[in-house]
Structure 1
Amino acid sequence: MCNGNNGNEQECMLNGCLFFSTTKLARAFGKIAEEAFKKTGLSPSHALLLYLVNQTGSIHQKEIGERLHLTPSTITRFVEKLEGKRLVSKRTEGKNVYICTTEDGLALMEEIIKAWNILEDGYKDILTEEESGQFIRISNKLLSKLNNQEE
């Protein structure tokens, strides 16, 4: 419990703040994820997008944004980078843009899956499976409520 008499009021306030705590956690996870994905030659975000494309074979660019909760401009940048490495290709049908798998992209799947497993193993020793599930459920509930407020 924080009170004004402990001389650490500001630190206490920060650690009790959901925004500060989740931002701090995201940065810590980001560092661990970058290390885990180093062997793939991709950032974790690029690898996740490639994984999604490889799982579907072909996916509408708009759907990628919806599923990964990224803006259209971010998706465009990510796709351009992956396309430059020949890991995905674009197919246009009228106004619709589809992102498709390539042989090079599919060849990276094993490394991407290994990286995700390394990342997951990194926090399995910290949280139990039940705690991880609770954290994910609470996070998804919060995200859902916050996203509904934006609309």
Structure 2
Amino acid sequence: MGDSKTILNDCLYFTANALARVITRMAEEEFRKTGLSPSHAFLMMLVNDNPGIGQKELCEHLQLAPSTVTRFVDAMANKGFLSRQSEGKASRVFPTPTGEDLHQPIMDAWKGLHERYSRVLGRKEGDGLTVMIDAAYDKLNKAG
């Protein structure tokens, strides 16, 4: 089995997914304090920081498909955290006062997540890894 482990660990697909599972578990634990999933929390963070943001911009920032972002916005609107205003074909998303109240708990969870993986990886190493992964995503995404 020694060779199989090496083969798997030398595979970007395998190692990226393994890392995603570990960091997702950590994020879910940290963001659970907000009552939101990490994805919903990041959506709220963007809307709170950019009231009136368009769904297209949300898609770009979250790196998600329009249908996924629409589903997230619908869920958060149904919970009373967001509202939509239509401008022709465009839809603008705004936080409600209840959604604005989530700002600090979300920021605390985000900080907690960063501190948690920084304790394990080291702050400099964790931040460097984040930059490298983002750059790899951009290159691979553009290459199609």
- Counterparts of 1:1-151 in structure 2, within 5 Å, are 7-150=1-144
**1:129, distance to aligned residue in structure 2 (A):** 2.6
Offset at residue 58 of structure 1 (A): 1.3
Taking structure 2 as the reference length, what is the TM-score of the superposition?
0.95
Amino acid at match of 1:149: A
SS in 1 for 2:120: coil
| Deviation (angstroms), 1:98 | 0.7
Tell me, what secondary structure is at the counterpart of 1:86? coil
Q: How far does residue 137 in structure 1 lie from its aligned partner after superposition?
A: 2.3
Instruction: Report the Cα distance in structure 2 between the residues aligned to 1:131 and 1:19, rounded to whole angstroms.
Output: 21
Alpha-carbon distance between aligned partners in 1 of 2:115 and 2:139, rounded to the nearest angstrom: 29
Structure 1 length normalisation: TM-score?
0.91
Superposed structure 1 runs of 4+ greater than 3 Å apart: none
Alignment identity in percent? 40
Higher helix share: 2
Structure 1 segments unaligned to the other structure (5+ residues): 1-6
AA at the equivalent of 1:141: A
Q: How many residues of Structure 1 are paired with residues of Structure 2 in the alignment? A: 144
Larger Rg: 1
Change (3 A) 1:133 1:119: closer
Pairwise CA distance, 1:29? 0.7
Provide structure 2 residue ranges, at least 5 long, that are not aligned to the other structure. Answer: none
Q: Output the amino acid matched with 2:27.
A: A
The alignment yields a C-alpha RMSD, in angstroms, of 1.0
